[in-house]
Each structure stands twice: as structure tokens, then as C-alpha cells.
Amino acid sequence: MLTRRHLLLAAPALAVVRPGFAEDPPAADAPVAPAPETDTLQAILTRAEGLAALKAIVISRDGERLAERGYHGHSPRDSTNIKSASKSIVSALVGIAIARGLLEGVDQPIAPLLRGELPENPDPRLSRVTIGHLLSMQSGLAPSYARLAASRNWVRFTLSEPFTEDPGGPMVYATASTHLLSAILMRVGAASTERLAEDWFAPVEGFRIGSWSRDPQRIPIGGNQMAMTTRSLHAFGELYRRGGRTADGVQVVPEHWVQTSWEPRTFSRHSGDGYGYGWFLREIGGAPVRFAWGYGGQMLYIVPSLALTVAMTSQEASPSAANGYRDQLHALLSDIIATTRRG
């Protein structure tokens, strides 16, 4: 449960800033009193006021909205940069593209698809990088986001960078991988990735991308800088919880793609969490959880065993892992899971 112990354990990390980011860490969160066994969902959400960076939460079970709440002057209707949580949305677009025959599958090499952006003397390993490697962060290409953003051509820059691992090797988390997927989707879909998302997700009630930043070549940034409300992020989570179907039964994302995305293919060297195709995997509150995670604490949790979908958005300017805030959000979810189990 989200108790005083959770916050005290995280306190020593509050002074740590993730290397490569200049933002100050958020202020220490207020202590939260221990929760009794009979705690209600509303009591848990009220206690979450102690999390200073939290902006909004939306919770549903088996399609029924259980609760939603805004914090510190924010609302679930407010737009937030969901950061890397958007990698799960890019993964869904890839799954749809494969189902539509625009891509051959996860084993398709990317070099022929990006032939015009390859360096003059490409590393031979580029020919071994596949769509699946980009999805699971196992391409071996991992330029820092700061260097990527400073480049004049993000795709060409990524493909020209030295490999940090061989393709198919350990997970190396990098937005560059999902940005290559955005470029590939644009090429095979003959439209911007944003337009493809607008068209392909049109049947999903409540889902909308408010804005999406682009690179110098006007390619929407794959896996970052996507604005969305907490309600919209929750709507996307509900789509996946239902196996890629809308509430009306329209199959938007192939059901097998949802399950494939949630199969562990590698592990984060930092957290130990499993990672599939754009989704993290771990146990929280005694239940297997699939979740999207964005910088600052943009979270989309799906708990299939409880038919539970929880979206949380936070201030996006500060880290969430190094300061312990992400773990506090996991603890909040654990409380929600415990209360949901009690009925």
C-alpha cells in the first residue's frame, strides 16, 4: 500500500537527478499515513494528494469507470506530454500496419525500408536489424536523446551511429528505435504517422492525440513528445485490455498483436522489468501488470487478471525513476489492486 514506509524508502533518492537532464528533481512528497485493510478507493485517491507531481488518475474495471480525479489544479481532461508512454502507441501502429499488409512482420529487416537514409559505408550489422528489434529495444542502436534531438536528420543520424550492442542482444532503451519505426510507418503508409494514428484509431471512443512534435524532416517523433489527456491514455489502455477491440467490438489492433506485445523478450538492466514490444512487464500488488511508462511519471497500467485499467499522468519536467517517484506510483497501483480485489 502507499504508506509512510513507501515514501521514506524513496526519500534518499529525491536529491538525485538522472544524468543527462538538467531539470531539478521534484520537491519531496508529503508523508502519507498507513492505510487500513478496509481502505476504500476514494480514500486511496484522497491520500494520493501527497504526491506533489501527480496530475490526474482514471481507473476502470471491466469497462466500468470506477473513479477519476485531478490533482493540484489539474483535470483528467487536461493535455499532458505522455513522453515515452507513446512508445506503446507506436507499437500498436506497427501491429496494425502488419495486419494491413504494409509491413511483412517483426522479422522484416529495416535497412531496405530506410535505404535512402543509410550511411555511405554502413555497418554490416544494420542489415540484421529488424522491426522486432526496434520494438523490443534490441537493435543495438542507442544514441542519447539529447544528441538525437540536436541532429539535422534524426533517421540518418541514428543509422550512422556506432552500435552499442549487436542486434538481438541486451535491451538498450532509446527513443531513436521507435523514431525509426515512425519513419518506416510514414514510408509504408504514405502519410504522416500522426495521420495514420488518427485514421486507424478512429473507432476508439475517447482516444485522441492532441499534438505530436516532429523532427526536422517532419516525421512525428516516435516514442516521445506526444500530447494526450489522461482520459485518452486510459481509452488506449482499455482498447488493449479488451484484446484490441473497442467497446462496440470493432477490432482495431489484432488480438494476437496485443498478446505478442506483452510477451517478455528482454529485460531492463536498470529496473529488472521485462519488456515486450513497447510495454514493460512486472508484478505489482501480487498481480502480473503490463504498463507503459513515460518520463516524469506518465503511466498506463493494465492488470488483465482483474480487468483493471489505470492511467496516471504527472508533471513531465522531472524524472521519475532516479527520485523514487515511479516506485511511489507503483505503490499507489498496488493499493488500487488490493482495494479492487476486496470488491
Q: Are 136 and 167 in contact (CB under 8 A)?
A: no
Mean pLDDT of 285-313: 97
Q: Is the pLDDT of residue 19 over 70?
A: no
Q: What is the pLDDT of residue 39?
A: 84
Sign of CA dihedral 17, 164, 145, 191: negative
Report CA dihedral (116, 118, 124, 127) to the nearest 10 degrees: -50
Instruction: Tell me how far apart the terminal alpha carbons of the chain are, to the nearest angstrom.
Output: 16
All residues at 6 or more sequence positions from 306 whose CB lies less than 8 Å from its CB, including other chains: 61, 287, 337, 340, 341
Q: What are the pLDDT digits (tens) for 87-120? A: 999 999 999 999 999 999 999 999 999 999 999 9
pLDDT-derived band at 320 (thresholds 50, 70, 90) equals confident
Q: What is the pLDDT of residue 319?
A: 83
Q: What are the pLDDT digits (tens) for 249-282? A: 999 999 999 999 999 999 999 899 999 999 999 9
Return the CA Rg of the chain.
20
* CA-closest candidate to residue 42, choices 335, 327, 289, 299: 335
Distance, in Å, from the CA atom of 208 to the CA atom of 211, rounded to the nearest integer, reads 9
The separation between CA 243 and the C-alpha centre of its own chain, rounded to angstroms, equals 17
- Parallel, antiparallel or unpaired: strands 64-70 and 211-212: unpaired
Q: Is the pLDDT of residue 84 over 50?
A: yes
Q: 3-class DSSP state for residue 263?
A: coil
Q: What is the pLDDT of residue 331?
A: 97
Q: What is the pLDDT of residue 13?
A: 31
Helices (H), the chain: 4-10, 41-47, 86-99, 131-135, 145-150, 154-160, 175-189, 193-200, 230-241, 255-261, 325-341
Q: 3-class DSSP state for residue 310?
A: strand
What is the average pLDDT value for the chain, to the nearest integer? 90
Q: What is the pLDDT of residue 37?
A: 60
Scanning the structure block, which residue is given the C-alpha cell 482483474? 306
Instruction: Note the pTM of the prediction, 2 decimals.
Output: 0.88
* CA-closest candidate to residue 23, choices 150, 187, 184, 146: 146
Q: What are the pLDDT digits (tens) for 1-10? A: 444 334 333 3
Counting Cα atoms < 13 Å in the Cβ hemisphere of 23 gives 15
Q: What are the pLDDT digits (tens) for 174-190? A: 999 999 999 999 999 99
Question: What are the grid coordinates assigned to 286, written together?
Answer: 501480487
How many helices (H) and strands (E) are present in the chain, helices listed first? 11, 11
Distance, in Å, from the CA atom of 279 to the CA atom of 113, rounded to the nearest integer, reads 24
Question: How large a percentage of the chain has pLDDT more than 70?
Answer: 89
Q: What are the pLDDT digits (tens) for 110-149? A: 999 999 999 999 999 999 999 999 999 999 999 999 999 9
Q: What is the pLDDT of residue 9?
A: 35
Question: What are the grid coordinates assigned to 103, written together?
Answer: 509491413
* CA-closest candidate to residue 310, choices 326, 325, 279, 332: 332
* CA-closest candidate to residue 305, choices 318, 293, 317, 290: 290
Q: What are the pLDDT digits (tens) for 236-246? A: 999 999 999 99
Mean pLDDT of 306-325: 92
Q: Are 303 and 5 in contact (CB under 8 A)?
A: no
